[in-house]
Amino acid sequence: MINSLRLENFKCFESLNLDTAPLTLLTGFNAAGKSTSLQTLLLLCQTLRAPRGVSDLRLNGPLVNLGSPGDVINWGRGGSEIGLGVASEVGSLFWRFTVGEDERRALRACEVEVLNETGSFLISGPELEGIRPPGNSSDVLRHIENLIFLSAARQVESEVFPVPQETEDCTGDVGSIGQFAAWWFHQEADTELPAARHRSTSDVPPTLRHQLNAWAEDLFPGAEINALPIPRTSLMRLELRTSRTADWSRPANVGYGISYAFPILVAGLCADFGRVLVIDSPEAHLHPRGQSRIGDFLTHMAAAGSQILVETHSDHVLNGVRLALREGVIDPQKVIIYFFTLREGPRVIRLSFDKNGSINDWPEGFFDQSEKDLASLAGWA
């Protein structure tokens, strides 16, 4: 599991350290640093996935596109260097990248601080294989390199989806826009899932196909999903229906909510034990009830052994997590929520839950707009 993220001189932050848990929620104001925090992982991941020997930080790639070094070096502090780091249960890595002197002006790894069971030491650029330090750092690298990322923008309008080119050691990687979810659903349809990933109230077979549809019905009563290979192509067809007696339809004719939730369900149910999932806006296109239920689903998947980092603006997602805590789905010590605010900021406030799902300290601006609006309508403010 990833225990913490660390960044220095990166975008809006001069310095930030975030502890992470099996389930970590990032909430708060727009442009307050939520995405920046998660981009620590995404930048390192897409750089590690690049051909070995490349020492430039890959600012633009399949997971995230951030432009040039001038776009990511701290806007107020300036300078020519940023730092990105990740710690796991057995060690940590912290990279420093500096702007090179050649004409490309790329951010190049100049050194990495390594902490593992053998001690703490500093490795400079010439000793790195790309950005990979020599020695025993495989646990941290594996968590970063094998993460699954699902962005807020997902591929939903098409009924035809591609097959991933590489599938080894990446079970459940649905792609950053969910483009491979149909293939993974078909590929793993008859795989029996561990009991912890089952829909708790469903009396259905333990296979992925049946369990995913049980969770989907929890989000959208009556919904059912199917995926089929298109003969003589490397493409998949996705079809949906809103009841078991209805005809199968194209995703675009059913509504975006099911299509947006489908990759989340596939990734959560398929991901290997210990795999890190980074999910942006799981609430997208979902009715408030569906948003609450997706919060419940993510909590169950975290309790089942995935590590899930979520960026959300939805109080319904938050409440779904709180209800799951009250039901005893997960230990409250395994859930962290951060509130990113621009007051005196940017500033990050860590909040915690108790076993009943209650939050003790409720800061100004933290999911309180409904109460404020209702108070105004009632003439109380």
The residues, ordered by sequence, that sit 6+ positions from 379 with a Cβ below 8 Å of its Cβ are: none
Establish if 231 belongs to a structural domain: no
Please say whether the beta carbons of 107 and 69 come within 8 A: yes
Establish if 79 belongs to a structural domain: yes
Establish if 252 belongs to a structural domain: no
User: How high is the pLDDT of residue 51?
Assistant: 80
Q: Checking phi first, is residue 193 left (phi over 0); if not, alpha (psi -120 to 50) or beta?
A: beta
Token pair for 207: 């296979």
> Structure pTM?
0.93
Sites in the chain below the pLDDT cut of 70: 53, 78, 102-104, 125, 135-136, 167-169, 202, 380-381
Q: How many residues does the chain have?
A: 381
Establish if 219 belongs to a structural domain: no
Crossing angle of helices 208-219/288-303, nearest 10°? 140
User: How high is the pLDDT of residue 54?
Assistant: 74
User: How high is the pLDDT of residue 249?
Assistant: 87
User: How high is the pLDDT of residue 183?
Assistant: 95
At residue 198's C-alpha, the angle toward residues 284 and 247, to 5°, is 60
Range of the domain at 17: 2-145+312-377
Establish if 237 belongs to a structural domain: no
The residues, ordered by sequence, that sit 6+ positions from 322 with a Cβ below 8 Å of its Cβ are: 353, 357, 358, 359
Residue carrying the six token digits 């296109």:
285
Task: Decide: helix, strand or coil at residue 356.
Answer: coil
User: How high is the pLDDT of residue 167?
Assistant: 66
Token pair for 18: 């975030």
Determine the Cα–Cα distance for residues 131 and 77; give it in Å rounded to an integer: 25
Establish if 176 belongs to a structural domain: no
User: How high is the pLDDT of residue 104?
Assistant: 62
User: How high is the pLDDT of residue 361?
Assistant: 82
In the DSSP assignment, the letter for residue 159 is: S
User: How high is the pLDDT of residue 368?
Assistant: 75
User: How high is the pLDDT of residue 168?
Assistant: 67
Q: Where are the beta strands (DSSP E) in the chain?
A: 2-10, 13-19, 23-28, 81-88, 92-99, 107-116, 119-124, 148-150, 160-162, 224-229, 235-241, 276-280, 307-311, 335-341, 347-351
Residue 149: strand pairing partners = 278
Establish if 246 belongs to a structural domain: no
Establish if 288 belongs to a structural domain: no
Strands 148-150 and 276-280: parallel
Number of domains in the chain: 1
